């Protein structure tokens, strides 16, 4: 995948296959705009298709992970290093808003949820509206103790239109989501952990290292089985029990016959640690 600086973020790739996507506009609280979202969609797509990538980590700089859409500069021109040509951002009419949401704002969270590689949100600070939704779309959410998370769109008379209401319901249920959204809550990292929005709270000065350790652990796991299982778990949330059983049976027909399954059995019998992902060695 492409590395370097893009519209409002920078991409680096570390061994063994850990892609860091770092928002680098602290003066804007890493706010989102249309070109940045389109560059992020392309970056996530590249991560999906590149065998050198196993885990994707999002992190911010400064005091914000991402403080939501940059309402003052949403339609700004793409940066010179942008991955994509400029197009109208929408939101200039009713149908324009519909188009902008479906093909840019919502498309980013959908691309992240469709990513088979494991994703981590390293929530270093404020995560509001679009920033919260992006974090919730990730598989793991690790927050710094000073982080604050919320939707708060009703403070502006707006809706969590990028799919935030769905992701909140998925994490903490209908009743808590109604309370969270209608009362315009912005909560501390510890409160977010109690609500089920994040997996772990760590001291801010340890956030990057803790996420690095988690990423390395995940990157060492059997990638084919992990990706199949990730997809099956998300599918299970939408399926009946019988349909979920059918889904994982089909995926097991793949994983059981992959070389990683043989390596797992051999290592158990030989009483040693498994060495998975031989098929990925050429991409390291």
Structure tokens at 206: 């340890």
Structure tokens at 211: 């996420």
Q: What span, in angstroms and rounded, lies between the C-alpha atoms of 18 and 47?
A: 10
Look at residue 92 in the predicted model and tell me its pLDDT. Answer: 86
In the three-class reduction of DSSP (H, G, I as helix; E, B as strand; rest coil), residue 183 is classed as coil
CA neighbor of 119 nearest in space, from 143, 144, 137, 145 = 137
Q: What span, in angstroms and rounded, lies between the C-alpha atoms of 76 and 35?
A: 7
Q: What span, in angstroms and rounded, lies between the C-alpha atoms of 69 and 34?
A: 9
Task: Give the number of other Cβ atoms within 10 Å of residue 127's Cβ.
Answer: 33
pLDDT band at 252 (very low <50, low <70, confident <90, very high): very high
Structure tokens at 189: 């990292």
Do residues 20 and 54 touch, judged by C-beta distance below 8 A?
no
Do residues 55 and 115 touch, judged by C-beta distance below 8 A?
no
144 or 284, higher pLDDT: 144
- How do strand 118-123 and strand 126-128 relate by DSSP bridges? unpaired
CATH 3.90.226.10 occupies which residues in the chain?
A: 4-220
Do residues 276 and 263 touch, judged by C-beta distance below 8 A?
yes
Structure tokens at 207: 């956030």
Of 1.10.4010.10, 1.20.1260.10, 3.40.50.1220, 1.10.12.10, which CATH number belongs to 223-283? Answer: 1.10.12.10
pTM of the predicted structure, to 2 decimals: 0.95
Q: What span, in angstroms and rounded, lies between the C-alpha atoms of 26 and 7?
A: 13
C-alpha distances out from residue 11 to 14, 39, 225, Å: 10, 11, 26
- How do strand 9-14 and strand 18-23 relate by DSSP bridges? antiparallel
CATH 1.10.12.10 occupies which residues in the chain?
A: 223-283
Q: What is the mean pLDDT of the chain?
A: 95
> pLDDT for 127-186, tens place per residue?
999 999 999 999 999 999 999 999 989 999 999 999 999 999 999 999 999 999 999 999
> pLDDT for 60-105, tens place per residue?
999 999 999 997 776 566 667 777 788 888 888 999 889 989 999 9
> pLDDT for 240-249, tens place per residue?
999 999 999 9
Q: What span, in angstroms and rounded, lies between the C-alpha atoms of 98 and 113?
A: 20
> pLDDT for 270-279, tens place per residue?
999 999 999 9
| Residue 224: φ, ψ to 5° | -65, -50
The structural architecture, per CATH, of the domain 4-220 is Alpha-Beta Complex (3.90)
C-alpha distances out from residue 146 to 29, 141, 200, Å: 15, 14, 13
């Amino acid at each position: 995948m492409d590395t370097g600086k893009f519209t409002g973020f920078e991409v680096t790739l570390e061994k063994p296959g850990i892609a860091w996507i770092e928002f680098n506009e602290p003066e804007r609280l890493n706010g989102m705009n249309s070109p940045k979202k389109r560059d992020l969609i392309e970056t996530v797509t590249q991560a999906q298709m590149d065998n050198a990538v196993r885990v994707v980590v999002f992190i911010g700089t400064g005091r914000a992970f991402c403080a939501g859409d940059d309402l003052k500069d949403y339609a700004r021109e793409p940066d010179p290093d942008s991955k994509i040509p400029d197009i109208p951002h929408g939101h200039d009419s009713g149908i324009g808003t519909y188009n902008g949401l479906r093909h840019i704002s919502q498309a980013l969270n959908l691309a992240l949820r469709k990513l088979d590689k494991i994703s981590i949100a390293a929530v270093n600070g404020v995560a509001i509206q679009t920033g919260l939704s992006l974090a919730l779309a990730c598989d793991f959410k690790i927050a710094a103790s000073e982080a604050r998370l919320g939707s708060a769109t009703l403070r502006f008379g707006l809706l969590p239109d990028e799919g935030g209401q769905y992701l909140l319901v998925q994490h903490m249920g209908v009743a808590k989501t109604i309370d969270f959204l209608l009362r315009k809550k912005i909560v501390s990292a510890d409160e977010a952990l109690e609500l089920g929005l994040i997996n772990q709270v760590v001291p801010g000065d340890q956030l990057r290292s803790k996420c690095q350790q988690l990423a390395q652990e995940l990157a060492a796991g059997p990638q084919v089985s992990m990706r199949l299982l990730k997809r099956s778990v998300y599918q299970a949330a939408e399926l009946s029990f019988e349909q979920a059983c059918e889904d994982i049976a089909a995926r097991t027909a793949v994983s059981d016959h992959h070389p990683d399954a043989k390596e797992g059995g051999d290592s158990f019998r030989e009483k040693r640690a498994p060495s998975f992902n031989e098929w990925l060695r050429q991409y390291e």
